């Protein structure tokens, strides 16, 4: 009798081991929820100026900093205060991102980097940039703006110099 139980347990174990399993949950078909809509991957995460900035940051003397692209402000700036005001303030950062975030080895923000190309000259873009500047200032996250067409080495050196005086 003991052998029968042992053989049965062995068969169950073999069937379990051989059966296909997935670590993922089954994918739910959501096509009916979004009629006439297609979800497609964007061809590029960054534009040409941002790609150049990524290369520049990779070559720059940034110590042990990690560089991340397209980080939501909501991921590294939190809002505190009375619920009503906090909700309104959070609305200002909810859909915004910065081009690059530099962090230390513990993933604490060291510096935000924005690449300013031709699209940053419109009145609307200037207002959005000023808001982003204020929020980052209030959060205590330093900001480096790299303007397309300028010497980024000089901009980084000036930024480092201003940080050392503080």
Domain ranges for the chain = 48-165
Distance CA 108, CA 149 (A): 30
If we measure between CA atoms, which residue out of 138, 94, 133 comes closest to residue 116?
133
Share of the chain above pLDDT 90, in %: 32
pLDDT tens, residue by residue, 43-92: 888 888 898 998 899 888 788 889 999 999 999 998 888 887 877 788 78
Q: How far is CA 37 from CA 11, 31, 32, 40, in A?
A: 48, 8, 10, 10
Cα distance between residue 125 and residue 160, in whole Å: 26
Q: What would the two tokens of residue 59 be?
A: 């070559």
pLDDT 10s digits, 143-154: 999 999 988 888
pTM: 0.71
The pLDDT assigned to 122 comes to 82
């Amino acid at each position: 009798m003991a052998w029968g139980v042992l053989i049965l347990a062995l068969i169950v174990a073999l069937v379990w081991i051989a059966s296909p399993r997935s670590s993922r949950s089954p994918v739910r078909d959501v096509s009916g929820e979004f009629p006439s809509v297609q979800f497609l991957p964007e061809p590029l995460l960054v534009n040409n100026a941002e790609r150049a900035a990524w290369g520049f940051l990779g070559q720059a003397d940034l110590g042990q900093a990690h560089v991340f692209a397209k980080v939501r402000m909501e991921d590294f700036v939190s809002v505190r205060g009375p619920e009503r005001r906090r909700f309104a303030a959070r609305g200002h950062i909810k859909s915004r991102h910065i081009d690059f975030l530099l962090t230390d080895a513990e993933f604490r923000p060291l510096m935000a980097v924005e690449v300013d190309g031709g699209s940053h000259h419109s009145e609307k873009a200037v207002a959005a940039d000023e808001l982003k500047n204020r929020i980052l200032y209030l959060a205590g996250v330093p900001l480096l703006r790299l303007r397309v067409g300028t010497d980024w080495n000089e901009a980084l050196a000036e930024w480092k110099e201003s940080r050392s005086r503080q």
